[in-house]
Amino acid sequence: MTESFDMITQTVWFQFLSGYFGTIAFAILFGVPKQFYNTGGIVGAAGWITCFVLTKHCGFSPFASNFCASVVITFLSRCFAVIKKCPVTVFRISGLLPLVPGIGIYWTIYYMISDNFSKAFETGIIALKVLAAIIMGMVIVSGIPNKVFKTLFSPRRAQNHRSAES
C-alpha cells in the first residue's frame, strides 16, 4: 500500500507537475525574469511529458523520444519568444533542463571513477545518443525561418504600426 503510494510520482500527471515546477525552480536559479516563470514552466513540462509518455507508454527508444521532446521544446520556445518578445535562450535553457543529457554524463564519469568500465561505456554511449537527438531536434526547428513565427504570432497591431511608421 505504502509502496504504491510512494510510486505516485511515476504517474503522468505527477510527472507533468514535476516538469513544470522543476523547470521553474531552476529557472529561478538561472535568473530568468519573473514574468517568464510560467511560460518557461510550460515549455519544460511539455517537453518532459513528451519524452516521458513516449518512452514509458509508447515504447519509443531514448533517442526517438528525446528527439521529439527537443523538437517540441525548441518549437514552443520560438513561439513564446516571438509572443513575449524576449530571447529564445530563456525558454530553451529552462525547457531543456529536464532532458539533461548532463545526468548521463555524470553517471558515465561516476562509473569510470568506480572502475565499472562496461557500464561507463554503456551510459556514455546512451548519453551521447541522447545529446545527438537533442541537437538534431534543435537544428531542425532552428531551420524554420523566423518570419514564419513572426507572421503566425505577432499581433496584427505590430504590423500595422510598422507600416504606419514607414
Partner 1 sequence: METNQYDNNMSEALEVATKAGYILLENGAEISRVEETMNRIAKYFGVDTGNYYVLSNGIFTTGNSRKLKKNNPNLLSEQFADVKYIPLRGSRLDKVVAVNQLSRDIEAGKYTIESAGEKLDEISKMPFVKNWFQVLSSGIGSGFFCSIFGGGLRDCLVSTFAGLILWLFVLKVSAPHMSKLLGNMAGSFLSTSFCIIAVNAGLGVSLSHTIIGAVIPLVPGVAFTIGIRDIVGEDYLAGTTRLVDACVVFFGIAMGVAAALLIFNKIFGGLEL
Task: State which of positions 72-101 bind partner 1 (CB under 8 A).
Answer: 85-87, 89-90, 92-93, 96-98, 100-101
164 binds partner 1 (CB under 8 A): no
State the minimum distance, in angstroms, from the CB of residue 152 to partner 1: 20
DSSP 8-state code for residue 60: -
Rg, the chain, Cα only: 19
38 binds partner 1 (CB under 8 A): no
The position carrying cell 514535476 is: 18
Q: Can you tell me which of 22, 47, 62, 124 binds partner 1, judged by CB under 8 A?
A: 22
Q: At what angle do helices 37-56 and 12-29 cross, to 10 degrees?
A: 140
Going by C-alpha positions, the residue among 96, 62, 61, 57 that lies closest to residue 76 is: 96
The residue range among 61-69, 103-111, 148-156 that interacts with partner 1, by the rule CB under 8 A, is 103-111
Q: Where are the alpha helices (DSSP H) in the chain?
A: 2-6, 12-29, 37-56, 62-84, 88-96, 102-113, 117-142, 146-153, 156-165
Q: Tell me which residues touch partner 1 (CB under 8 A).
A: 5-10, 14-15, 17-19, 21-22, 24-33, 36, 48, 85-87, 89-90, 92-93, 96-98, 100-103, 105-106, 109-110, 112-114, 131, 134-135, 138-139, 142
